Chains A and B, each alone.
Chain A
Amino acid sequence: TQLLEQSPQFLSIQEGENLTVYCNSSSVFSSLQWYRQEPGEGPVLLVTVVTGGEVKKLKRLTFQFGDARKDSSLHITAAQPGDTGLYLCAGAVSGTYKYIFGTGTRLKVLA
């Protein structure tokens, strides 16, 4: 069974702090996506990483795909209250049509 474990599960920080969320698996994925989900809404795609070692930046968010395509990280610089939400990583399973989602990291940024 393929699993994606995210850490930490919960994170409460002050505005302006930096943070990193980790997404780890023993399985290889053809790509990995990060989503953010707010209460009462569906997940919204932030980024897709495909190549091992790939780094993508989206304003204050930096995403990295591990060299072996088994893990990923999301780093947020100078967090803002608007970053509050549930962050989900999702690995695309090669040769299938499904994504395996991580357990999620619930982030709260206090003003």
Chain B
Amino acid sequence: ETGVTQSPTHLIKTRGQQVTLRCSSQSGHNTVSWYQQALGQGPQFIFQYYREEENGRGNFPPRFSGLQFPNYSSELNVNALELDDSALYLCASSLVSGSNSPLHFGNGTRLTVT
């Protein structure tokens, strides 16, 4: 069973640039959620994708967008990067859409915006 994999592991970008982060979900999982974890804090929900559509979103501006592909892999795109976007971005896959489904996390992408 292949777990959740994220790429790249680390990334440094300049303020105003755009970034794309990638996630391959665990085998058999059809739902992908993205979380932002700032240093010293718990993860914050960005959005969730199920059947290639966004079906839930947290308090993040529209410059945070995503995609889910037919193979259930996903991308997180962030436009017009700001210094406060520096964080660990975590992808989590689950078996079904909805609450109570356990989340299986990848090891994250550490994004630094300078």
B97 proximity list for chain A (CB < 8 A) = 97
Report how many residues on chain B are interfacial, defined by Cβ distance under 8 Å.
28
Q: Does B107 contact A (CB under 8 A)?
A: yes
Decide: A102 near B42, CB < 8 A? Known: A42-B92, A50-B100, A97-B56.
Answer: yes
Decide: A103 near B42, CB < 8 A? Known: A40-B107, A94-B99.
Answer: yes
Identify B42's interface contact among A42, A44, A98, A101, CB under 8 A.
Answer: A101
| Binary interface encoding of chain B residues 33-51 relative to chain A, with 1 for a CB under 8 A from any of its CBs, else 0 | 1010000111111001010
Interface residues on A, range: 20 to 34
The answer to whether A48 touches B102 (Cβ under 8 A) is yes
Q: Does A99 contact B (CB under 8 A)?
A: yes
B42 proximity list for chain A (CB < 8 A) = 4, 6, 88, 90, 101-104
A42 proximity list for chain B (CB < 8 A) = 4, 90, 92, 105-108
Q: Does B12 contact A (CB under 8 A)?
A: no
Identify A98's interface contact among B48, B102, B105, CB under 8 A.
Answer: B48
B99 proximity list for chain A (CB < 8 A) = 30-31, 92-99
Q: Spell out A's residues near B (CB within 8 Å).
A: 4, 6, 30-31, 33, 35, 40-45, 48, 50, 88, 90, 92-104
* Those 5 A-B pairs whose CB atoms lie nearest each other, nearest first: A42-B105, A97-B56, A101-B42, A92-B99, A98-B45
